[in-house]
């Protein structure tokens, strides 16, 4: 099979799948960068949870084609004084709010650069920078290969904020009720157990090796430790949600 690749515009947010926000960003992109392929990478990041977003953003952007531009928005302080930033990390571009959302991307990057974006659109709403500011910035980068002017280089390490890495907690409950944690799987040996809600969960390489109804942990396809119940919901089993603490038991 031949290997081809095209850079994408990808949207990562806590906008929610039911909300009207994703469509408006897509419309802004379609107007500003008609020739660039566009995807809704993920819209279900836990609302207002910058730390969870930071880990999910790293996990879900790893397989994007080189040169892709990710607009990332988990922005509880929208309209406040936080800056707009652009990050280039290991061949991918990111843009969004300077609130720690790029903390894991920056902290794990082999090579990294960052800019504070001073450019502003003619019309900027108070509450939807995802459409009015970050969307045209992302489209500009996708078209031109650089952030729009004026912008100023800044120290990427400054963007890490107070995001914890690893994050010993649930950062996402997926549609099957699986519990995604903020612990990279390369950090944990298979003999370890994961503690959650007073229980200890052992490792299994895949769903089919556990009897239905049994909880286990595994390395998910995005490099994170995930707790699941074969043909069931781990969220219901443990009454867990984004924020529930977990710990590695060595």
According to the binding rule CB under 8 A, does residue 168 interact with its own copies?
Answer: no
Q: For its own copies, which residue of 114, 172, 201, 234 counts as binding (CB under 8 A)?
A: 172
Q: How far is the CB of 157 from its own copies (least distance, A)?
A: 25
- 65 vs 166 by CB, closer to its own copies: 65
According to the binding rule CB under 8 A, does residue 221 interact with its own copies?
Answer: yes
Compose the 72-101 pattern: x for residues touching its own copies by CB under 8 A, - for all others.
----xxxxxx--------------------
Residues 39-78 that bind its own copies (CB under 8 A): 39-42, 44, 47-48, 56, 60, 63-65, 76-78
Counting residues that bind its own copies (by CB under 8 A) gives 71
3-state secondary structure 89-127: ECCEEEEEECCCCCHHHHHHCCCEEEEEECCCCCCCCCC
Q: Report DSSP state, residue 130.
A: I
According to the binding rule CB under 8 A, does residue 176 interact with its own copies?
Answer: yes
Q: How far is the CB of 231 from its own copies (least distance, A)?
A: 5
Does the CA dihedral 129-135-140-146 come out positive or negative? positive
Q: For its own copies, which residue of 100, 136, 156, 184 counts as binding (CB under 8 A)?
A: 136
Proportion of the chain in helix, strand, coil states, percent, rounded to 5: 25, 30, 45
According to the binding rule CB under 8 A, does residue 249 interact with its own copies?
Answer: no
- 41 vs 112 by CB, closer to its own copies: 41
Q: For its own copies, which residue of 32, 83, 113, 160 counts as binding (CB under 8 A)?
A: 32
Q: Is 237 helix (H, G, I), strand (E, B) or coil?
A: helix
Q: Tell the residue number behind the tokens 């990279």, with chain if given.
A: 184
Q: How far is the CB of 173 from its own copies (least distance, A)?
A: 9
Beta bridge partners of 245: 169
H or E segment at 196? strand 193-196
According to the binding rule CB under 8 A, does residue 28 interact with its own copies?
Answer: yes
Structure tokens at 219: 């390395």
Cβ atoms within 10 Å, residue 211? 8
- 17 vs 241 by CB, closer to its own copies: 17
Compose the 185-204 pattern: x for residues touching its own copies by CB under 8 A, - for all others.
--------------------
Please return the burial class of 115, using the count of CB atoms within 10 Å of its CB with bins 0-12, 13-18 and 19+: buried
According to the binding rule CB under 8 A, does residue 211 interact with its own copies?
Answer: no
Whether omega for the bond prior to residue 166 falls within 30 degrees of 0, making it cis, is yes
Q: Which of 188, 169, 164 is nearest to 107 (CA)?
A: 164
According to the binding rule CB under 8 A, does residue 145 interact with its own copies?
Answer: no
According to the binding rule CB under 8 A, does residue 220 interact with its own copies?
Answer: yes
H or E segment at 106? helix 103-108
Structure tokens at 95: 């843009």
Stretch that binds its own copies, among 3-11, 158-166, 186-194, 239-247 (CB under 8 A): 3-11
């Amino acid at each position: 099979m031949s290997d081809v690749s095209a850079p994408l515009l990808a949207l990562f947010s806590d906008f929610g799948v039911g909300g009207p926000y994703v469509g408006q960003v897509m419309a802004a992109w379609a107007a500003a960068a008609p020739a660039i392929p566009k995807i809704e990478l993920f819209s279900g990041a836990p609302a207002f949870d910058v730390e969870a977003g930071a880990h999910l953003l790293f996990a879900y952007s790893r397989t994007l084609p080189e040169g892709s531009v990710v607009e990332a928005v988990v922005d509880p302080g929208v309209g406040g004084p936080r800056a707009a930033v652009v990050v280039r990390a290991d061949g991918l571009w990111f843009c969004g709010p300077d609130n720690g959302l790029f903390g894991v991307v920056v902290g794990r990057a082999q090579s990294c650069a960052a800019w504070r974006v001073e450019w502003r659109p003619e019309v900027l709403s108070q509450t939807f920078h995802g459409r009015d500011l970050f969307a045209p910035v992302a489209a500009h980068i996708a078209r031109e290969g650089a952030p729009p002017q004026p912008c100023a280089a800044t120290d990427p390490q400054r963007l890490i904020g107070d995001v914890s890495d690893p994050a010993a907690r649930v950062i996402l409950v997926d549609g099957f009720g699986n519990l995604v944690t903020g612990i990279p799987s390369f950090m944990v040996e298979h003999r370890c157990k994961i503690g959650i809600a007073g229980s200890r969960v052992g490792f299994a390489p895949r769903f089919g090796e556990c009897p239905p109804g049994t909880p286990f942990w595994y390395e998910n396809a995005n490099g994170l430790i995930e707790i699941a119940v074969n043909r069931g919901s781990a969220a219901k089993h443990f009454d867990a949600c984004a924020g529930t603490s977990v710990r590695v038991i060595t």
